[in-house]
Amino acid sequence: MDAQLQTLIDLQGFDARIAGLEAEAARLPRQIETLQAALADAKKMVETIKTKVDTTRKDLRVKEKDLEVANVKRQKLEAKLYEVKTNKEYSAVLLEIEEAKQEKAKTEEDILGLMEMQERLAVDIKDAEQRFKTREEQARQDEAVIRKKLAAVEQELTTVRGQRATRAKDVPPGLLASYDRILKARGGVAVAAVSAAAVCGGCRVSIRPQAIQELRAATGLMVCESCGRYLYWQE
């Protein structure tokens, strides 16, 4: 095989490996971001429940004060019964007392509801904190694994880039520039194989019989008439 063609094939192998490693190096940090986002959501859930607990506690204090006011109001109304002088006034006070009783009953019902909510929230926050603790530990372990893998990928990427740079020195500047241009224009594939199917491995367009003979002889460089990639024969 032509030496320059073999060098281009080698470069294509390096570039394919570099592209794969670069994609992996870009993907792994996103995995870390996903872990951190999930952990942030779990923490946010804990904070949300804590906020509900605080709100419920405040609401309960307000209702307890309302109950005190309702009790005082009822006591005053009941004492007023002994002060009224007419049946009409007596009936009016009785009506107010009944309304006060209903108000007190409603407040007591609200207090009971808030106390029950506090009990549920106490369970919820305990569960949420446990889930967060578990996720935090798992996220820490997973992130450590991902970062270790990322370091290995970056190290390998540096190595492969160095090997590629060394091999590229064997290619004449003009040919290397042409190769790099095709590589960029053709989605990272500048060199394509042609097999017995007689089609370009890059664009799948048929290759002329005469060109096939020349490829098999491997006496020089040839490009695909359709996509412009460098071609080589592969048994």
Band of the pLDDT at 1, cuts 50, 70, 90?
low
Question: Which token pair is 92?
Answer: 């009016």
Question: Which token pair is 27?
Answer: 């993907």
Average pLDDT, rounded, for the chain: 92
Residue 191, H or E segment = strand 191-194
Domains of the chain (ranges, CATH numbers): 3-170 (1.10.287.1490), 172-235 (no CATH)
CB 207 within 8 A of CB 213: no
Band of the pLDDT at 40, cuts 50, 70, 90?
very high
Residue 60 CA from chain centroid, whole number: 39
Q: How far apart are alpha carbons 117 and 49 in whole angstroms?
A: 11
Query: Phi and psi for 170 in degrees, rounded to 5?
Result: -85, -5
Residue 109 CA from chain centroid, whole number: 44
pTM of the shown model: 0.70
**What is the per-residue pLDDT across 150-196, written as a single tens digit (0 to 9) for each?**
999 999 999 999 999 999 999 999 999 999 999 999 999 999 999 88
DSSP reduced 3-state for 117:
helix
Its sign, for the CA torsion 213, 215, 216, 219, is positive
Q: How far apart are alpha carbons 27 and 113 in whole angstroms?
A: 49
* pLDDT at residue number 2: 79
Its sign, for the CA torsion 211, 216, 222, 227, is positive
* pLDDT at residue number 195: 87
Its sign, for the CA torsion 201, 203, 204, 210, is negative
The more confident residue out of 183 and 218 is 183
